[in-house]
Amino acid sequence: MICIDHTVQIWQEGDTYVAHAHPLDVMSCGESPEEARRNLEEAVRLFLKVAEEQGTLEEVLREAGYILKDHHWSAPEIISSERVSLSLSA
C-alpha cells in the first residue's frame, strides 16, 4: 500500500461547493462542503486508480512535483496561499 498526500481547497460558487485537490488538479463538487470533500475523495481515488491501471501513476505524480520515500508520495509543500486582486484597464 502507498500513501499519497494532497491539499484540499473548498470554495462556494452560488449554491454549490467546489473542492480541488492540489497538486493533482482533480475537482469535484457538492451541496455542502462535506459532500464536496467526499465527492473529491472518490474522484481522487478514481483518478489515481486509472493512472495506476494505465501504468502512468508514477509519471503523473512526479510531473505534479511529488517525491517518493518509503511508499509515501509527498506533495510539494505549499509555501503561501494568498488572495490577490488585479486591476485591468478595459
64 assigned to some structural domain: yes
Confidence of residue 76 (pLDDT cuts 50, 70, 90): very high
8 assigned to some structural domain: yes
Q: What is the mean pLDDT of the chain?
A: 95
* pLDDT at 80 > cutoff 90: yes
Which residues are CB-neighbours of 31 under 8 A, at least 6 positions away?
A: 15, 16, 17
Domain count, the chain: 1
What pLDDT, in 10s, does the model give residues 24-58? 999 999 999 999 999 999 999 999 999 999 999 99
Q: What is the CATH number of the domain that holds 20?
A: 3.30.160
The distance of Cα 85 from the centroid of its chain, to the nearest Å, equals 23
pTM: 0.87
Q: Which domain holds residue 42?
A: 3-74
**Rounded-to-integer distance, Cα 57 and Cα 84, Å:** 33
79 assigned to some structural domain: no
Q: How far is CA 13 from CA 7, 18, 32, 36, 57, in A?
A: 19, 7, 11, 12, 31
